[in-house]
Structures are given as structure tokens and as C-alpha cells.
Amino acid sequence: MDCTETGALIRRLRTEKGFTQKEIADRMNISDKTVSKWERGLGCPDVSLLNELSEILGVNIDRLLSGKLVNNENNGGNMKKTEFYVCPTCGSFTLSSGKAEVSCCGRRLPPLEAKPCDEKHRLEIAEMEDEYFITIPHEMSKEHYIGAVSYLSDNRCFTVKLYPEQNPEFRFPQVRGGCFYFYCVKDGLYSMRNS
């Protein structure tokens, strides 16, 4: 932990949020001299205080310790750069339009790599009026099912969450030139280009 970097970040986040040193100190039941000391790099926050401090400042503890925030490259919000994350503990599914730091159940989640479709993992797509009618020829048992399907184009993202024992049929609005992504709870993420 570099106290100077951490202190500079604490000062920056505190002023962004419009708190005085005293307000932070009062919320944490410590003296404002302590906060001032941190900000001048004369000492680092005690481990027992990190959790509360990170919540008050709205920053991850690891960022607080490193004293650095990471800036994402701005991708103009292109939905095609969407990343998919699944928590191995609770199974929840998260999308972000670009790289993000996603945590669930106390763990940092890496973005999933999509594999190309295979015989078992593919979508059947029929065009109906102005919609795609999608069916999935994959089993939907409790242990092995498709948990979510997304369709991404430059500026749109449609997602449907699926449940075991459900009939996997649904519709998405027709938007050309996008890409389907779907997640099998056992085998991972797959992608399939759309014409």
C-alpha cells in the first residue's frame, strides 16, 4: 500500500462527493485528524476501516489500496463490445457494454469468452413479420440448460433470461447484422452471427 497514492485518491473521491474531512470522520467514529493524515500520505487507513471507507467513498477496496482508478477506453457505447459475466457461486448473469469490474458473491468475475456454436449449442431462428422467432434445441434440465440469450447490434441489446424446464422459445425484434450470445450453465458462452 502506497500511502501517498491512497491518500490522494481518498482526497479526490471525498471532494467529488462533497464531504468534508470531518463528515467522513464522524461517519466512521474517528477523528478528522486521522482523515487529514491519510490524505497527506502520513499514514494509511487501518484494515478494519477499509470496508466502511470504501463504501462511503464508493470505490472498491483494491482500488483504494492501489490508489489508482482504472479508466476504461470509451468505446462509444457500442453494444457489440458487450461483455458477459456469470457468477459461479449464485449463477447470476450480468452484461456490461464494455469492460467493467464486476463482482458477485465476494469474487471478481472475469468476462466470458464466447465459443462458436456447435451441434448441441445453437439457436434456430425463423423470421416472423418483424420479429425473430427463436427456439433452442438444447436440453432444459435443472443441471444443464441455457440460462440466457442476448442479441446485440451496434446500438441495441435484447436479453431474455431462461429457466430450467421452461420451453425455450421467444421473440426478439428484427435488427439486421447483429450477433446472438447465449449461455449454457454447464458449457459456457456461445455466439452466433446473424445475417
* Contacting range for Zn ion; rule: CB under 5 A; set: 5-13, 124-132, 151-159, 184-192: 184-192
- Kindly write out the interface string for residues 36-75 of this chain, putting x where it contacts Zn ion by CB under 5 A and - elsewhere: ----------------------------------------
- Gyration radius (Cα) of the chain, Å: 23
Q: Nine-digit cell at 44?
A: 494509511
Residue with cell 477523528: 31
Selected from 187, 188, 191, 192, the binder of Zn ion by CB under 5 A is 187
Q: Which is nearer to Zn ion, 24 or 148 (CB)?
A: 148
Task: Look at strands 124-128 and 131-135 and give their pairing.
Answer: antiparallel
In angstroms, the CA 176 to CA 189 distance is 22
Selected from 3, 30, 50, 104, the binder of Zn ion by CB under 5 A is 104
**DSSP characters for 85-127?**
EE-TTT--EEEESS---EEETTEEEPPPPPEEP-SSS--EEEE
Measured from the CB of residue 118, what is the shortest distance to Zn ion in angstroms?
A: 9
Residue 184 near Zn ion by CB under 5 A: yes
Measured from the CB of residue 91, what is the shortest distance to Zn ion in angstroms?
A: 7
130, 173 contact by CB (below 8 A): yes
Residue 128 near Zn ion by CB under 5 A: no
Residue 126 near Zn ion by CB under 5 A: no
Q: Which is nearer to Zn ion, 13 or 102 (CB)?
A: 102
Tell me the site size for Zn ion, rule CB under 5 A. Answer: 8
166: number of CA atoms within 13 Å, CB side? 14
Residues that bind Zn ion (CB under 5 A): 87, 89-90, 104-105, 184, 186-187
